[in-house]
Amino acid sequence: MTPSPSDETGPSGAGPSGKKAPPSETRYVFVTGGVVSSLGKGIAAASLGVLLRERGLRVTLQKLDPYINVDPGTLSPLQHGEVFVTEDGAETDLDLGHYERFIDHNLSQDNNTTTGRIYRNVIDRERRGDYLGRTVQVIPHITDEIKRSIRVLAKGHDVVISEVGGTVGDIEGLPFLEAIRQFRQEVGARAFHIHLTLVPYIQAVGELKTKPTQHSVRELMQTGIQPAALVCRTEHPLGEEIRRKIAGFTNVDPAGVIEAIDVETIYEVPLQFRRQRLDDFVLARLGLEAPAPNLAVWKRMVRGIKGPSSGSVRIAVVGKYTELVDAYKSVEQALFHGGIRHDLDVGIDWIASEELEGERDPGFLAEYDGLLVPGGFGSRGIEGMIRAIGWARANGLPFLGICLGLQCAVIEFARNVAGLKGAHSFEFDRASPHPVICLMDEQRKVTTKGGTMRLGSYRARLLPGTAARRCYGADEITERHRHRYEVNNDYRELLAAAGLVFSATTTDGKLVEMIELADHPWFVASQSHPELKSRPTRAHPLFASFVEAAAIRRGGIEIPAAAASS
């Protein structure tokens, strides 16, 4: 008997009780998109991943990106959004952040593949003579390499969900579509295709229009792929008549036509899919059986997001790329997670740091309950960040600095507290008399920019008695990094004497990982990117503590004892 969508068994996060033995062969789900970009393929893929994982299956997700860059590390955040860094130091697409947050599982460089990487691997083999003189072509060599990148994830997983970037019809995406078409031929019923489309509502006539979906599926079928399910983005409910019409014109089972109506929070999408039994439909087609998903914790989390009972806080994010929120997607979500932890609504205002380099007085920050300065590269807007941090330091505004935010905090403190006139970062001012942020000696020997980066997970030791130690509740931690410059060790003793606390260092003590101020309500900065490890059901301790400090500053907000951070 098919389980009811409301059935819940087993403890959340550990998989349902009574799970059967895992399938002997891995199954594959491919997610494509059509009509327009930015429909939410990543959220759809991640939401299905949640449902399958909560049914006890071992699930991983993968992004197949058609752009020619080897990875997004050199792409502008204003064009492509944030670079999400994995534990093993891979610079990947921001969708991997959604994947990790939804399924609460760390991914790796194998979970993001680009056209650039595919072609580089094939060309490297050709140069080595691996193809024994044969002519190297898109088919079979490029498509074989794409298929290899998918199969490499099979070990240890029951289901691999691969999202193909871009939209059907894009020239650069054709090798990926051909590869997944071939994949379906090779593994048969162990592969399942989902196509995401748009069903627009035409206000003038008051109707939903299915023609874009019909054309998109037709375009996909011309590549040889028949989708088994359609996820239809819409602003209005589809209704049974519209579903039947779409099913009839696309050769999709009506049960596989899934409504993806706009919701208040992206974390509601798995519940939306579960109500329509998408996971049941997928498992049935893949020949898998698994107990009903346990969504109790997820439902409770969504209820908290939609109706927080402890009030709200306002956070100012002063950064370089605030024109595009996706440039700080993980920061945004980590702040929301901090709100979930304390049953608070977190309002975020994105403020371009350049605005503070002109006539705008940073005194407007008094309207906020907290200031966050995130990461970035380049000199644009740096002085605005420094001014904002200086105001927060002097006026007791809770402050969280991330990566560049830490470096700007060190510069501000050096200039205005330690009396080091002209202090700056070697990155921005090579003539500074006090380069309190610099490259380490060993980095200066490296000639390529990528070679000087600290990428991925690094271990740090926390100083007892500090706010950082209280936040984490541990003596040692690991966090992910993506930066090149470090706090200059030549100035550590002087800065510490002026009152700057180095609350975390690498385990060998050579590099500064965190700073804070002891005489401030809450002033903490991290050289790492803690936002990358935050989860909706498990807020990162720094963000949870920062949001709590913001609530305390606002006053009149009572944090439940069970929600208070350690």
Tens-digit pLDDT profile for residues 21-57: 456 799 999 999 999 888 999 999 999 999 999 999 9
Mean pLDDT of 53-63: 97
Which is catalytic among the residues 82, 100, 145, 531? 531
Q: Which of 178, 529, 540, 548 is catalytic?
A: 529
pLDDT digits (tens, 9 = 90+) for 172-205: 999 999 999 999 999 999 999 999 999 999 988 8
Q: What is the pLDDT of residues 101-127, one digit of tens each?
A: 999 999 999 999 999 999 999 999 999
pLDDT surpasses 80 at 346: yes
> Could you tell me if 116 and 70 are in contact, meaning their C-beta atoms sit under 8 angstroms apart?
yes
Is residue 563 over pLDDT 60? no
pLDDT band at 440 (very low <50, low <70, confident <90, very high): confident
Mean pLDDT score of the chain: 92
562 or 313, greater pLDDT: 313
Residue 322 CA to its chain's centroid (Å):
17
Q: What percent of the chain has pLDDT over 70?
A: 92
Identify whether 232 is a catalytic site residue. no
531 part of the active site: yes
Tens digits of residue pLDDT in 489-509? 999 999 999 999 999 999 999
Residue 430: φ, ψ to 5°: -75, -10
pLDDT score recorded for residue 556: 53
- Residue-wise pLDDT tens digits, 120-157: 999 999 999 999 989 999 999 999 999 999 999 999 99
Among 294-303, 438-447, 467-476, the least confident range: 438-447
Q: How confident is the model at residue 442 (pLDDT cuts 50, 70, 90)?
A: low
Which of 403, 408, 438, 471 is an active site residue? 403
Nearest to 36 by CA among 161, 169, 163, 164: 169
- The whole-number average pLDDT for the span 86-111 is 97
pLDDT for the residue 23: 65
Rounded-to-integer distance, Cα 336 and Cα 332, Å = 6
What are φ and ψ of residue 239, in 5° steps?
80, 155
**pLDDT reading at 475 higher than 90:** yes
Query: Helix or strand or coil: residue 68?
Result: coil
pLDDT of residue 78: 83
What is the reported pLDDT for 476?
98
Query: Is 403 marked active-site?
Result: yes
Please provide residue 98's backbone torsions phi and psi, each rounded to the nearest 5 degrees. -60, -45
- Count CA atoms closer than 13 A to 280's CA, side-chain side: 16
Residue 461 has pLDDT above 90, yes or no: yes
Beta-sheet strand order (sheet of 27-33): 112-114, 59-65, 159-164, 27-33, 191-198, 229-234, 257-261
For residue 16, is pLDDT > 70? no
Q: What's the pLDDT score for residue 112? A: 97
pLDDT value of position 5: 42
> For residue 94, which amino acid is it?
L
How many Cβ atoms sit within 10 Å of the Cβ of residue 465? Answer: 11
Residue 517 scores a pLDDT above 50: yes
Query: Given pLDDT bands bounded at 50, 70 and 90, which one contains residue 358?
Result: confident
What are the strands, taking DSSP E only, across 398-453?
399-402, 423-425, 434-438
State yes or no: pLDDT of 87 exceeds 70: yes
Q: What is the mean pLDDT of residues 519-542?
A: 97
Q: CA end-to-end span of the chain, whole Å?
A: 45
Taking every pair of C-alpha atoms in the chain, what is the biggest distance, in angstroms?
Answer: 75
Residue 354 is given by DSSP the state G
Average pLDDT over residues 400-404: 98
Contact of 524 with 556, CB cutoff 8 Å: no
pLDDT at 453: 86
Q: At residue 519, does pLDDT exceed 90?
A: yes
Q: Tell me: pLDDT of 392 over 90.
A: yes
Instruction: Answer whether residue 9 shows pLDDT above 70.
Output: no
Provide the pLDDT confidence category of residue 384 given band limits of 50, 70 and 90. Answer: very high
Does the pLDDT of residue 6 top 80, yes or no?
no
Distance CA 247, CA 228 (A): 10
296 confidence band (pLDDT: 50, 70, 90): very high
Please state, in angstroms and rounded to a whole number, the distance separating the CA atoms of residues 414 and 296.
49
Look at residue 3 in the predicted model and tell me its pLDDT: 39
Q: Is 378 exposed, middle or buried (0-12, 13-18, 19+ CB in 10 A)?
A: exposed
In order of their start, the domains of the chain are 27-301 (3.40.50.300), 308-554 (3.40.50.880)
The answer on pLDDT for 160 being more than 80 is yes
Distance CA 321, CA 385 (A): 12
In contact, 8 and 292? CB cutoff 8 Å? yes
